Structure 1
Amino acid sequence: MPGALLPCSHLSIAIACPPEQVYAYAADPRNLPRWAAGLASSEILQDGEDWIAQAPFGRVRIRFAARNTFGVLDHAVELESGQIFHNPMRVVANGDGSEFVLTLLRQPEMTDAEFAADRQAIEADLKRLKQLLEAPGSNQRQPL
């Protein structure tokens, strides 16, 4: 019999930029410090297929899903303790632009306040991503 389901929140933001460009930018882990402060607060370094970053909660190892044409940006984040969190994330077409969607799963040990803080941090990251990609004359629209 399967275990209990985790409560979750689907966080999304509309971005006035074609999905291919949003995906190309968000799929490049080197861009994480520019928009995902909740995950990578400084330079990110490649280690084989993984990426090493300094997050606000410690050093993390990140592994993204292989590049694909479906907009899937799922990634696993491994903490220094060895605990791994799987984070579903996706870019989908929305008219002439995109919808960027992340599913936040509430972990069993999280308090209401911790879950709310996690949600707020991710919402701030998504707003930063939107600002970067929609900035007039922004070169962020082009993949690195």
Structure 2
Amino acid sequence: MSTTESRHLSVHIDRPVAEVYAFVADPGNLPRWAPGLGTSVVREGGGWFVETPEGRARLTFAPRNEYGVLDHEVETPSGETVYVPLRAIADGHGSEVVFTLRRSPGMTDADFERDAGLVSADLALLKKVLETPSA
């Protein structure tokens, strides 16, 4: 049994789940709603890569599916692989996006809270991007 602490962070988005899923499932959209991960995402040799302050990271996403699973792995420039559970769930006429934040071994309370704040800000930006009519 794992003793890793997890926290579920979520946001309601007033858009149909199929639209939310399609947007989030496209790695090319990451800089629009998760700029903390990186500002440039490129597809190269069949993989997705993001430029981070620490260097280039590889992104691997779950295959497209009908269940709203948007899980992905981030292979950091140091070679560490971080698994990121993420879901888009129908919520009435809208959607709920749920991000599971896991505490890394040795992570301080302050670092965990900082990461929770960053994820919450990304989810708020996702809501804003998807609910704002295109100009």
One-letter amino acid of the counterpart of residue 130, structure 2: L
Q: CA deviation at 1:43?
A: 1.8
Relative to the length of structure 1, the TM-score reads 0.88
Alpha-carbon RMSD: 1.4
Which residue in the other structure is 2:63 paired with? 66
Select the residue among 8, 13, 19 that pairs with 1:15: 13
- In structure 2, the residue corresponding to 1:104 is in which secondary structure? strand
Unaligned segments of structure 2, at least 5 residues: none
Which residue in the other structure is 2:115 paired with? 118
Relative to the length of structure 2, the TM-score reads 0.94
* Identity over aligned pairs, percent: 47
Structure 2 CA distance for aligned equivalents of residues 57 and 117 of structure 1: 18
Aligned residues: 135
Q: CA deviation at 1:47?
A: 2.5
The answer on 1:92 being equivalent to 2:89 is yes
Q: CA deviation at 1:56?
A: 4.1
Q: Which runs of 4+ in 1 moved over 3 A?
A: none
- In structure 2, the residue corresponding to 1:30 is in which secondary structure? helix
One-letter amino acid of the counterpart of residue 11, structure 1: L
Which residue in the other structure is 2:134 paired with? 138
One-letter amino acid of the counterpart of residue 20, structure 1: A
